[in-house]
């Protein structure tokens, strides 16, 4: 099962059930044939804009009605621990398990100065379109992630 299929199932479950915690969601995903780790689930939550809300005296997960800028940016800001570069690439360091969500957020900007990103567990490799533009791209990434 690919990421898009998994995220579609997560959205269906969140919309159809009152899910109070990640363990409940993991159990329902397992019943549907989808095995997922907590780290992957957290990345999916960030990408899908899933938030915890209080409703009827209970806490449950819900798809956010906020825009990406207001719902994901605060999360991403707390997940990035540093940005470094050399003559050819930029490395964004994240908390463990958070690189995928941060890379996706960077990709969502469709910045012409970025050829692409590659995420590991706690590191995002940002490939610039031109090495001459690395300083400008670092500035843009810092503005995106920290302001």
Query: CB within 8 A of 146, min separation 6: which ones?
Result: 77, 80
Given this model, what pLDDT does residue 64 score? 67
What Rg do the C-alpha atoms of the chain give, in angstroms?
A: 17
Q: 3: pLDDT confidence band, cut at 50, 70 and 90?
A: confident
Per-residue pLDDT tens over the stretch 52-87: 887 777 888 887 654 444 445 556 778 889 999 999
Check: pTM over 0.75? Answer yes or no. no
The answer on 46 and 13 residing in a single domain is yes
The answer on 142 and 73 residing in a single domain is yes
Could you tell me the CATH number of the domain that includes residue 93?
A: 3.30.1360.40
Q: 128: pLDDT confidence band, cut at 50, 70 and 90?
A: very high
Split into its structural domains, the chain has a count of 2
Q: Which domain holds residue 31?
A: 3-63
Collapsing DSSP to helix, strand or coil, 61 comes out as: strand
Query: CB within 8 A of 27, min separation 6: which ones?
Result: none
Structure tokens at 1: 């099962």
The answer on 54 and 85 residing in a single domain is no
The answer on 82 and 138 residing in a single domain is yes
The answer on 111 and 136 residing in a single domain is yes
Given this model, what pLDDT does residue 45 score? 87
110: left (phi over 0), alpha (psi -120 to 50) or beta: left
For the chain, the residue count is: 147
């Amino acid at each position: 099962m690919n990421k898009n299929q998994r995220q579609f199932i997560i959205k269906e479950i969140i919309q159809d059930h009152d899910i109070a915690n990640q363990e409940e969601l993991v159990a329902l995903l397992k019943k549907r044939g989808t095995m997922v780790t907590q780290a992957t689930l957290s990345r999916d939550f960030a990408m899908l804009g899933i938030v915890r809300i209080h409703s009827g005296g209970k806490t449950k997960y819900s798809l956010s009605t906020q825009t990406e800028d207001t719902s994901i940016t605060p999360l991403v800001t707390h997940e990035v621990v540093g940005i470094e570069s050399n003559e050819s690439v930029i490395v964004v360091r994240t908390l463990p398990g958070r690189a995928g969500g941060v890379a996706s957020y960077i990709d969502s900007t469709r910045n012409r100065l970025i050829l692409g990103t590659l995420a590991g567990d706690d590191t995002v490799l940002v490939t610039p379109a031109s090495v001459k533009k690395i300083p400008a791209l670092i500035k843009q990434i810092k503005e995106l992630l920290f302001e």
